[in-house]
Structure 1
Amino acid sequence: MSGKGGSPNTDALNFHVCLMWDGGSPPFVDGRELAETVQSILIDDVDNWSDGLLQALASCAPATGGAEGPGGVAGQLLLGAPYELRRCQTPQWFDPERASALFARTVATARQDLRRINRASLMAPGARWSRLAAHLELLAVLAAVMRPMMPGWSAFVLEELGMSPQTHWPWDAVWGHPLLRRGQRLPGHLPGYFERWHPDTLSDRTVS
């Protein structure tokens, strides 16, 4: 469950360091701040959004991936966030603080929207499926583009979605070329990856 090339602990540390990075000296890692990042962002938002999404899809329609086009908030997020996340992780435009902060904001926004979808009892089934499918595509794309920062989480999510852990999202990707295949079988839920983080294995330290 740890994914390939990383683990919940190393991925959480990588993400936290990137979030705290100011472009200068390597940041000092405070164990309490790291624990707060893990709980408030990686568990409360990332894990809960991912699992809640798969559960919503399982109860909404047959567990197959794919959608006709961008739907709702997640569709709009797909049009911008993945491109900027990938750009900020390239050597030419390397900005780990911007990338990690954007990832956190994107997932937080997606989780809020998923709550709205789940509460919208009068939403037409087709519209609900379209919006949930956009969330699913967003999750897959985020997993692919965040591989440099969180390789274990990336591999874990992609494999749970029935995809190769080395799935590549091309630079010229658009909604018409989704990562998820039509008819792709999906799990009914997604176990919490970062819930397996162990704070006792890390102490306050400066990352070098």
Structure 2
Amino acid sequence: MPSTNAQDNVRARGGASGIWWYCNGQQIQAIPNATRPPQGAQHFKTFSMFFCSGYGFWVLRGDATNAASLASEAWHPLRFDYEENDYSTYITNAGSRRNLNWTRPDQRWPGILFPDIYHNPTMVTPNLQYGGLRGDLPIFLSLIAFSMRREVLAPMLPNMFINGAWNVHSHPSGRVDRRGVVVYVYTAPQNWAPNSTINELHRYEDGVYSNYYN
């Protein structure tokens, strides 16, 4: 289980650490020389994730390197809720399910993002209307980060989201025992993207426009 002492949770240098990214709805790019969110951005959510080999992911709402977050929030195992309209999986820190909802043999994202303990071999179907992934955006982005080694994350991240769609990759997994990831999500400033609002991010998480993966 991850530590509840912020001093034990150290931010590692290198990789994608300290880089602020901008998504315009079509692609992701690093913001040059940014040390904080751009002026006018609104905080949406922050989550921390921690990987324990043989157990899986732990999730904390907030920044695990911040003592205030650890004092007000608790670590929870990664959990899921099931969406009944399209049989997709909703990723969260407070769900009622331990395994992914229905998936298909043609989908690569389940194996890329999740270790075997989250898979249910009795819930695999060739039916194309089944399967998909949505849920808390910082958790999803953390899973993307864990899916590859930290040294390739920064150059690979722009390739993971092209023309408004999430892609898969063939890199080795970055799920290393006791590795942690912290993700902050903000809206874009209104002069960058007028439609980037808290409400729109909630709608994106809920799959109103599309799932992260189908």
Structure 1 and Structure 2 fold alike (TM over 0.5): no
Question: TM-score, with normalisation over the residues of structure 1?
Answer: 0.30
Question: More helix by proportion, 1 or 2?
Answer: 1
Question: TM-score, with normalisation over the residues of structure 2?
Answer: 0.29
Question: More strand by proportion, 1 or 2?
Answer: 2
Higher RCO, Cα 8 Å, sep 6+: 1
